[in-house]
Amino acid sequence: MKVKFLPQGVEHDIAENKTILGLAAECGVNIDGNCAGNGTCGKCRVRLVSGECEPLKEMHAHYEMSETDKATGWVLACAAVLKSDAVIEVPETDTTASRKKKLIHLPEGFTADCGEESIGVAVDIGTTTVVVSFWDLETGAMLDVDAMTNPQGAYGADVISRISFATENKGGCAILHEKVIGAINTAVDNFCKKNHYENSQVKKYAVVGNTTMSHLFLNIDPASLAVAPFAPAFTGEVVTDCREIGLNGAEDAKVIVVPNIAGHVGSDITAGIITTDLMQRDKGHLFIDIGTNGEIVLSAKGRITACSTAAGPAFEGSSIKYGMRAAAGAIERVFIDDNGVEISVIGDTKPIGICGSGIIDAVGELIKTGVVDKSGRLLGSDRLAKKGVSAKILEHIEESRDANGNDFVLFKGETPEESVYITQKDIREVQLAKAAISAGISIMMEEIGLTKEEIEKISIAGAFGNYIRNESAANMGLLPRIELERIKAIGNSAGVGAAMVLLSKGSEEEAVRVSQIVEHIDLAEKKNFQDEYLKGMRF
């Protein structure tokens, strides 16, 4: 028996009792597996175009599809075992990756100093996305950039689920290592073919990622990162050759893995720091990389400190009812006023869900209009009517379909199943993520003795930072309330920093210096973390 995946056109032999998710992972077809295949997130939906499958009933007990979806062939890839030849349609979700491709720009005034006639590759391994940029090592010019969904995603959306897979399955670490190496090699092969280069002309790599991604890239067991004191197997710079770890390139091609800072503050943050003026340590500069594992760096009064905080997957859509990655059909902007609700959808198409920037917009707007109160409660229409909330807004409030409480409808479809809405549970998930980040910021400010008024600027790193509205983030208390013009999105600072290390010995040395000087703050050891976290739960 065989399975064919569309639109990739990949065919694969069907192994007995293998789920569609498992088969896809084996043959390099990416399907979101945010809950590590436990059947709870509902994000691994695929359509059975032809063939028969047997649902795993115990998995479907966690997440039930609508009758409309079932009738049109939709199944959960983690909860369906094929019983015949089959054709599977996988929804395309590559917009997140394509957005990150646009965010690689070297700082003004940066000069390459490597002087080699060959190709260099800078790699930013994110939990969600891998960005690979190609550089002329002689001139320092960027030749191309590629980005793809991290194929490790089939084994879980976050670093903890990846660590669990690596440690609980025989050969698990090697599997995750091979997945990311394979993705990078595919990007290199495609670049060389498109631009008429040979792989042997690739002479150097510089690689960054969070600490877990760095371990898996080097095929180093990440088990120690999951238990206190969360000590990494290495923090310093690692220099090896590409053949040693399976990368394509010249036989003597060097691979530089930029140093980590701590267990959950990785080389992506080290790389981000060297793209900014954080190391000057003479003014209040807050640097935030918002994601499943939110990293925070604060520089002021002669010190530079860093911490990580477990924000969870809400800002990436994984724990949100209609959450999804930034792809066609995702609501990315929400505006609410007395005239009602206005949304912007990626691809100008019918909405099917909401991505991270849309989630922050929606919650920020609901707080601004009073639909969500300071405690995070999504109020009912009767109570809001008494408060004078406009009838146009009230039209969007419905009693919850899944539990007690209320829902706020962002898009009303022709059938209930086609509607997209924010639930009370979604609000709570956002509160948890927001509280983790705001608590981390508060403790870092207290550690240095910095007031909100002394923060001169806030830099938001990553693709996510480029697409969120600062006003919405401030409305929900995700960021300190300072003048909005002092909050700047700085793009893919990790990818830019990797390129700087690739092209400049001075930048490589600066990255090593950063990893040695930055003070890591362990939030778990702070007695007031719980108090700050509870304070942060309020909007």
**CA–CA separation, 223 and 11 (whole Å):** 34
pLDDT tens string 120-170:
999 999 988 899 999 999 899 999 999 998 999 888 878 888 999 999 999
**CA–CA separation, 368 and 17 (whole Å):** 51
Q: What is the pTM of this model?
A: 0.83
How far, rounded to the nearest angstrom, does the alpha carbon of residue 480 sit from its chain's CA centroid? Answer: 22
pLDDT tens string 460-505:
998 777 888 999 998 899 999 899 999 999 989 999 999 999 999 9
- Phi and psi of 512, rounded to 5°? -65, -40
Residue 62, pLDDT score: 54
pLDDT tens string 179-205:
999 999 999 999 999 999 999 999 999
CA atoms within 13 Å, Cβ hemisphere of 87: 6
* CATH number assigned to the domain with residue range 2-89, chosen from the 4 options 3.20.20.70, 3.10.20.30, 3.50.50.60, 3.40.720.10: 3.10.20.30
Q: How confident is the model at residue 8 (pLDDT cuts 50, 70, 90)?
A: confident
Residue 505, pLDDT score: 95
Mean confidence (pLDDT) of the chain: 89
For the cut 80, the answer to whether the pLDDT of residue 28 exceeds it is: no
Residue-range domain boundaries for the chain:
2-89, 95-273+495-503, 279-489+508-539
**CA–CA separation, 91 and 76 (whole Å):** 12
Helix (H) or strand (E) holding 132: strand 129-136
Residue 417, pLDDT score: 83
Candidates 504, 451, 505; CA nearest to 480 is 451
Q: How confident is the model at residue 174 (pLDDT cuts 50, 70, 90)?
A: very high
93 neighbors 118 (Cβ within 8 angstroms): no
pLDDT tens string 54-113:
877 655 545 667 777 777 888 888 888 888 888 888 876 554 545 545 556 677 667 666
Residue 290, pLDDT score: 86
Could you tell me the two tokens for 454? 């002394």
Q: Give the mean pLDDT of 302-315.
A: 90
Class of domain 95-273+495-503: alpha beta
134 neighbors 192 (Cβ within 8 angstroms): no
**CA–CA separation, 299 and 273 (whole Å):** 10
β-pairing verdict for 119-125 and 53-55: unpaired
How far, rounded to the nearest angstrom, does the alpha carbon of residue 148 sit from its chain's CA centroid? Answer: 12
Least confident of 134-143, 317-326, 346-355: 317-326
Q: Give the mean pLDDT of 244-259.
A: 96
Residue 350, pLDDT score: 93
Residue 440, pLDDT score: 96
Number of Cβ atoms within 10 Å of the Cβ of 81: 18
Burial of 506 (0-12, 13-18, 19+ CB in 10 A): middle
Candidates 231, 285, 281; CA nearest to 261 is 231
